[in-house]
Amino acid sequence: MTNPLFYAKIILFGEYGMIEDSQGLVVPYSFYKGTLKFSDLSSEFELNSNRHLQKYSDFLTTLDLSDDFKLNIDSFKNDISNGLFFDSNIPQGYGVGSSGALVAAIFEKYSISKSNPENISKENLKKLKTVFGEMESYFHGKSSGMDPLICYMNLPILIENKENLDRVSIPDGEEGKGAIFLIDSGITGETGPMIQIFFEKMKTEGFRKTLKEEFIRYNNACIDSFLKKDMNPFFRNLKKLSYWAYEHFRPMIPESIFNIWKKGLDSNAYYLKLCGSGGGGYILGFTKDYKKAEKMLDGFQKEVIYRF
């Protein structure tokens, strides 16, 4: 029997803001995926993955998960000794949920109380997010649990605030001129240090104030208008959000991206924002005219993830 595939995820809106109770919109991204497999560990990739799973299984034994979400760690460890590894093409340090997919795959296979993601109540979604946060903290030091939740559910999730989240439908993509796309910054990012920078910034009153009064307002307005497919207010607020990030998230924007970020704001041809914690990996782009944006971003590797 083959194990299920777990897809990558993309935070369209809410990076960092979700820590401070903004809304968030997170979607699965099926271009990248991973699954648990067995092998004789003859390749270096498989052997390294197996060793990482061994260390991770030791960490999982230290967690005190509630009865509803307990894992069969003995079975997990036994499978590791028999050649289990995580076969994944999800790039690490790119903000698309490589550790989230792994956590989701392990939970799905080794949770003692089996549940169907489609039938999970809103209340249990919250509990599951907390459990996933504990499981993923091994990789980042602190985790909201959102990445594994998206990978596990394989559905778009709207985070309403710290307490509430629910499944949501995003408008069907269509072959229009507009697009949401990814730009490869060419370097990997590390979540831990970026989050550290954010918490340092949060110690200053001015930053806290502008985050709450401006960033969260623009972010939530973008989500609202995107879900309604109301593109004029969407792009209006997106420009404000992109400019705010250019001013206040400077350390999180890879150097290779600075100039094209500003170019988008100056020309209004496209707007950029962080994809995840930043520092490297992917950057998200939004445009009403992808052909025009593509020309202006010549030399950068791009992937379209949604058309409108």
Same domain, 114 and 255: no
- Burial (CB < 10 A; 0-12, 13-18, 19+), residue 111, is middle
Same domain, 153 and 299: no
Same domain, 249 and 130: no
pLDDT given for residue 141 in this prediction: 76
Strand runs labelled E in 66-168: 84-88, 157-159, 165-167
Same domain, 77 and 130: yes
In a domain, 1, yes or no: no
Strand runs labelled E in the chain: 6-13, 24-38, 84-88, 157-159, 165-167, 179-184, 271-274, 282-287, 302-307
Tell which of 140, 167, 194 closes a domain. Answer: 167
Low-confidence ranges of the chain (pLDDT < 50): none
The domain spanning residue 294 has which CATH number? 3.30.70.890
Number of separate domains in the chain: 2
Tell which of 141, 167, 193 closes a domain. Answer: 167
Same domain, 156 and 187: no
Quick check: helix, strand or coil at residue 68?
Answer: helix
Threshold 0.75, pTM exceeds: yes
Quick check: helix, strand or coil at residue 287?
Answer: strand
Token pair in block for residue 88: 């994944």
pLDDT given for residue 88 in this prediction: 96
pLDDT given for residue 191 in this prediction: 81
What's the domain range around 139? Answer: 6-167
Same domain, 186 and 132: no
In a domain, 223, yes or no: yes
pLDDT given for residue 53 in this prediction: 98
In a domain, 174, yes or no: no
Same domain, 190 and 142: no
Percent of the chain that is helix, strand, coil (3-state, to 5): 50, 20, 30
pLDDT given for residue 108 in this prediction: 95
Same domain, 19 and 157: yes
In a domain, 17, yes or no: yes
Rounded to whole angstroms, the Cα distance separating 237 from 271 reads 11
Same domain, 130 and 265: no
